Amino acid sequence: MRLPSIPWSEVEHRARTVPGSPVTRAGGADDLTVRGLVTDSRRVVPGSLFACVRGATSDGHRHVPAAAAAGAMALLVDRPVETSLPQLCVPSVRAQLGPLGALLAGDPARALGLVGVTGSNGKTTTSALVRGVLEAAGTCTGVVGTLGAQVAGLSRETALTTPEAPELHELLGAMVEAGARRAVVEASSIALDMGRMDGLAFEVAVFTGFEEDHLDHHGTVEQYWASKARLFEPGRTAAGVVVTDDPWGRRLADQAAVRVTRVGSGADADVRVLGWRTGAAGTEVLLGDDAGGHRVRSPLVGRVHVTNLAAAWATGRVLGVPPDRIAAGLAAVAPPRGRNTVLGGSGRPVVVVDYAHTPRALAAAVDTVRDLTGPGGRVHLVVGARGRRDRYKRQGLGESARAADCVWLTNEGSHGEDPAAIRAELRLGLLGTPAAVRTVPDRREAITAAVRAAGPADVVLVVGRGHETRLLDTTDPRDAVHLDDAEVVAAALAAAHDGDDGLRERAS
């Protein structure tokens, strides 16, 4: 999208609206204009306002010379910098990114009805389902999340589940240009904690569920929950849809100061799950609400999607979508890439590729694939853990892996950590398991071996990376290699089951 030129005086005025942020302006006439807000000096183009953000390992103030050389028109700083460029000095540059990012993108969110989706698991799938419901109602809708940004047949990759505020507002602007009238935004806890969602007002905020995660950032589970609960504050959202099948969801529904629609299997749910069944062909859910009973069908596979479907149904109802349009939208949404992606079958083992990377998500994924096994079939699980992230989860992942019949421990990207040490922590949770446990450090080899070892009635579950296509074992992002779990699975199915069946016997 072509960004608008914004007068320097308007930038100063918007900056002064941020609570607790006295602003000092140094240089720049009122008719000076800037175009676009940038936080990375390598992305500066002529006319940009460069925001000097302090990060965990870098300080944007040190990159002012590079930004100036690239054509930055002005600076947003938290301390004066020696430069000829005009600058606004504020107490917190990060606190300004949402409001100023919105202004410099043309305030696109004002032209959009927004739905925010948060939760430890299920954000991506639920966001896709909500978008499908709104599209079925005739509303062009964009989505921003883990799988990138999509609208009207267009797509763009994003580095983060919830992009930094300037990029997020630019994406919303592109959606408006493409004809969107609504947008669904995945809201990660880190994004909420760091203010990336500031400057946005949602019609509905959705909470898909909760378990411990990202404590390497948040410190405690209470702080993690509080970050997600911010999405349900008055002024940030007009209404909430909350899955209440866990204590954290019930707590949020009780404490939220906005109107909440409760979703779940409990008797107090406003949208109640009355029954469900799932198999290789998809999932069927019977829901009850104030309009009666509703049968919903979806090509999504697995019990993990039952509350995702129910939450999307409830969101549609809150937004006034007729029940028949909601049902049609849910039925039309294909499984998002890397979320219970089903491969194989037809005489070959079924293989499921999923993003499950928390203990509860892994347990649910194993339960799901157990439903897909044939008579006497076994579950083969290919599992690892990400390096330098949430080390506390590893033993819990091992405990959840105990439900499989054969566990293939492998690498998931060590990011400079010792891969053997990561696998050793997973093994702690597997102690005493009746499952056969094999260690195959190379992920490609582990997936291939599991597929070769599986019989026609078996299911292979490959977890942890889902849609991701780059694997990193050092601290330098330039060392990342291409590895797509689904691609490896497809090749293994073709090689092992079109060739020598004896390979299965040797691998097992």
Question: Which domains, ranges and CATH numbers included, belong to the chain?
Answer: 6-104 (3.40.1390.10), 108-332 (3.40.1190.10), 341-507 (3.90.190.20)
Tokens of residue 412, six digits: 């998931």
**Residue located via tokens 């083969």:** 380
Distances (CA, A) of 113 to 82, 171, 193, 205, 318: 42, 14, 23, 12, 13
Q: Report percent pLDDT > 90 for the chain.
A: 73
Residue 503 binned pLDDT confidence (cut-offs 50, 70, 90): very low
Residue 22 binned pLDDT confidence (cut-offs 50, 70, 90): confident
Average pLDDT of the residues in 425-445: 94
Average pLDDT, the chain: 91
Cα–Cα distance measured from residue 255 to residue 233, given in angstroms and rounded to the nearest whole number: 10
Q: What is the pLDDT of residue 504?
A: 38
Q: What is the pLDDT of residue 219?
A: 61
Task: Judge whether 508 is annotated as a binding position.
Answer: no
Instruction: Report whether pLDDT(215) > 60.
Output: no
Residue 507 binned pLDDT confidence (cut-offs 50, 70, 90): very low
Cα–Cα distance measured from residue 495 to residue 447, given in angstroms and rounded to the nearest whole number: 12
Residue 231 binned pLDDT confidence (cut-offs 50, 70, 90): very high
* pLDDT per residue as tens digits for the range 177-211: 999 999 999 998 888 888 888 889 999 999 998 86
Task: Judge whether 41 is annotated as a binding position.
Answer: yes
Q: What is the pLDDT of residue 499?
A: 52
Point out the least confidently predicted range of 36-40, 67-71, 149-153, 392-396: 392-396
Task: Judge whether 39 is annotated as a binding position.
Answer: no
Task: Judge whether 259 is annotated as a binding position.
Answer: no
Q: What is the pLDDT of residue 506?
A: 30
Point out the least confidently predicted range of 75-79, 211-215, 434-438: 211-215
Tokens of residue 447, six digits: 């997936």
Phi and psi at residue 88, in whole multiples of 5°?
-110, 125
Residue 223 binned pLDDT confidence (cut-offs 50, 70, 90): confident
* pLDDT per residue as tens digits for the range 105-126: 999 999 999 999 998 888 999 9
**Shortest CA distance to 195 belongs to which of 49, 96, 119?**
96
* pLDDT per residue as tens digits for the range 240-268: 999 999 899 999 999 999 999 999 999 99
- In 171-303, DSSP assigns E strands to 182-186, 204-207, 239-243, 259-264, 271-279, 282-289, 292-298
Residue 302: HSE in the Cβ half-sphere, 13 Å Cα cutoff: 25
Residue 364 or 216, more confident: 364
Tokens of residue 502, six digits: 């004896």
Beta strands 49-51 and 148-151: pairing type? unpaired
Phi and psi at residue 145, in whole multiples of 5°?
-175, -155
Q: What is the pLDDT of residue 389?
A: 80
Count of CB atoms within 10 A of residue 161's CB? 19
**Residue located via tokens 């005025």:** 13
**Shortest CA distance to 224 belongs to which of 358, 351, 36?**
358
Residue 28 binned pLDDT confidence (cut-offs 50, 70, 90): confident
Task: Judge whether 161 is annotated as a binding position.
Answer: yes
* pLDDT per residue as tens digits for the range 268-312: 999 999 999 988 889 999 999 998 999 999 999 988 899 999 999
Cα–Cα distance measured from residue 39 to residue 101, given in angstroms and rounded to the nearest whole number: 10
Judge contact between 493 and 459, C-beta under 8 A: no
Residue 353 binned pLDDT confidence (cut-offs 50, 70, 90): very high
Residue 338 binned pLDDT confidence (cut-offs 50, 70, 90): confident
**Shortest CA distance to 145 belongs to which of 131, 134, 255, 106?**
131
